[in-house]
Amino acid sequence: MKSRLWISSLAFIFTASLVACSANNGGGQQTPKPGETAAKDNKENKEPAVAQKQTYKIFRNFGAPEYPADGGRGKKEVLAALDKAGLKNIDFNVTLASGTEYYTKLNLFASSGELPDFFNVDIPSLTRFADEGLIIPLDDLIKNSPNIQKLIKQSDLEALKYKGKVYGLPVGYRPEPFNGPDTNGFTVRQDWLDQLGLKQPKTLDEFYKVLQAFTNNDPDKNGKKDTYGLSAAKPANPQLTPFSAIFGAYGIIPAFWHERDGQLKQGMVLPEAKEVLALLQKWFKEGLIDPEFVIMETKQLEEKAIGSKVGIFEGSAFNVDPKQPINLSMKKAVPTSNLQILAPPVGPNGKQGWPENAPAYNDIRAISAKTKNPEQLMKLIDWSATEEGFPLVTYGVDKEHYTFDKAKNRVEMKVPSYSELYAQGFSNPIRFIQVVDRRWMTEEALGAMETTNKYTVKNQFWKTTQAMLDYPDLPKLWSEYYSKIVTGTWSVDKWDEFVTKYYSQGGKAIEQQVNEEWKKKGK
């Protein structure tokens, strides 16, 4: 039920493994001072020990301004259910931020020594925090969490291991086939296609013609030339690339590793990348691409989409569901609006695809080394994956916010949008572990999910190598050349200069180590 654009949905593609074993394996528990131990006090007073209430600070990378600062009704319901389940003396406070703002705040917390207890991480942040001993390994905690173990993929845990330890909690998946990891795609205004008498584009040429029509033929019928065919938000991480499906039409993804003549090479240095840059630059110069995509935040993109300023934008299959905030807002503005997910366009050699999602579904969470009683925190997380805890946390109160049809295995939401659940303190803001469950979605939206999971480009190497850590700024080099070439600031031939710099500024060492590791595992 997450509504998130693709930028929040891909992970740091250089890696899906976590790094650096924390120096503090004790979960940050402090050694009591002499004379202050509970055991001594209780012995002297001959009174039973009373567990102190532990309040866990949780920081989520999620945009929900409706969520009440005090947790609202949702918090009260969850705490009551925890108490009923025998998990007493637990409390939690959830704060939210999203996109680049989230990581700016997270880094400030880290630098001030005030990391929250449980929080989202991307790989660069997790790498640094593990190196600095700011987070703890989770292997034993996961082993003692039976409900979590039933839902998370062993392949995700393996992909997230570094030196035999797991530092991040991945998502879980329900077993239904529509609960796949890939959700991103080109979201299209189907009503604009219908208005202009166009079919959904299948090939790059057809895609180009739709962009022209959406830009030049007044699809919103307001008598103004104020629409763009294509838009996207800037990636949260510089190694991610807007309009990745256009690269996918040529069989590559810039940051993915692809086999060429028995060697792995990153897509950005393959000649196909130059072809795509030339195509995107052409579209940009013709005014088909929103010029603000280089600097635009996710919220701004959503506002443009709701305001009928773009016809195709990078988004999520979740947006097809009418209960999602962006769809709901768009229908309020334009009642006839209709969002659909396109299959990625087919390129000149019959190739197509969006980047496959990184292991762990781009939703990795860590526990601070300063967290008191992390075992109790994990019990809270594990409870939220039980048959009792999961529906309450995810969907709200039975019969009031949702109903469940056991025979059909479908969840029917009784609220007009998930924004209302957020406002009451339920659903995504307090999903302590993300469990992919789309039984609530409309058939049309589930079909969109099938599309996003069907057409993907695979990455041949997800692991981390030391050279990647030694040259962390290399992705920024690609980001700079990509944006300046696409917008016409630089000529397409500057890509050749990029390749030279790529190899001289760390790419050579990275490529060598990647191939060594790849060949060790028999490819």
Amino acid at 158: E
Phi–psi pair at 520, nearest 5 degrees: -60, -35
Provide φ and ψ at 288, rounded to 5°. Answer: -85, -20
The candidate with the shortest Cα–Cα distance to 207, out of 230, 178, 228, is 230
CA distances from 98 to 106, 350, 417 (A): 11, 37, 20
N- to C-terminal Cα distance for the chain?
35
Whether 243 and 230 have beta carbons less than 8 Å apart is answered as yes
**Reduced to 3 DSSP states, what percent helix, strand and coil does the chain have, rounded to the nearest 5?**
40, 15, 40
pLDDT at 464: 77
Q: Phi-psi bin for 396: left (phi > 0), alpha (psi -120 to 50), beta?
A: left
Give the predicted TM-score (pTM) of the model: 0.70
pLDDT of residue 9: 35
- Would you give per-residue pLDDT tens digits along the chain (523 residues)? 443 333 333 333 333 333 333 333 333 333 333 333 334 444 444 444 445 789 999 999 999 999 999 999 999 999 999 999 999 999 999 999 998 899 999 999 999 999 999 999 987 787 789 889 999 999 999 999 999 999 998 878 877 776 678 999 999 999 887 888 888 899 999 999 999 999 999 999 999 999 999 999 999 999 999 999 999 998 877 678 999 999 999 999 999 999 999 999 999 999 999 999 999 999 999 999 999 999 999 899 999 999 999 999 998 898 998 878 899 999 999 999 999 999 999 999 999 999 988 777 778 999 999 999 999 999 999 999 999 999 999 999 999 999 999 999 999 999 988 899 999 999 999 999 999 999 988 888 888 998 998 899 999 998 778 899 899 889 999 999 999 999 999 999 999 999 999 999 999 999 999 999 899 876 5
Q: How many residues does the chain have?
A: 523
Amino acid found at 308:
S
Question: What's the one-letter identity of residue 4?
Answer: R
Radius of gyration of the chain (CA): 24
Beta strands (DSSP E) in 385-498 are: 402-405, 410-413, 435-436, 456-457
Q: How many CB atoms lie within 10 A of CB 458?
A: 11
Task: State the Cα–Cα distance between residues 385 and 391, nearest whole angstrom.
Answer: 9
CB 10 within 8 A of CB 362: yes
Q: Give residue 169's Cα distance to chain centre.
A: 14
In the numeric block, the tokens 């993929």 are attached to 153
Contact 448, 320 (CB under 8 A): yes
- Long-range CB contacts for residues 391-395, cutoff 8 Å, separation at least 24: 392/77, 392/78, 392/81, 392/426, 393/78, 393/426, 393/427, 393/430, 393/431, 393/432, 394/1, 394/426, 394/427, 394/431, 394/435, 394/437, 395/421, 395/426, 395/427, 395/440
Q: Which residues pair with 152 in a beta bridge?
A: 172
Q: Which residues touch 70 (CB under 8 Å, ≥6 apart)?
A: none
CA distance 249 to 518: 25
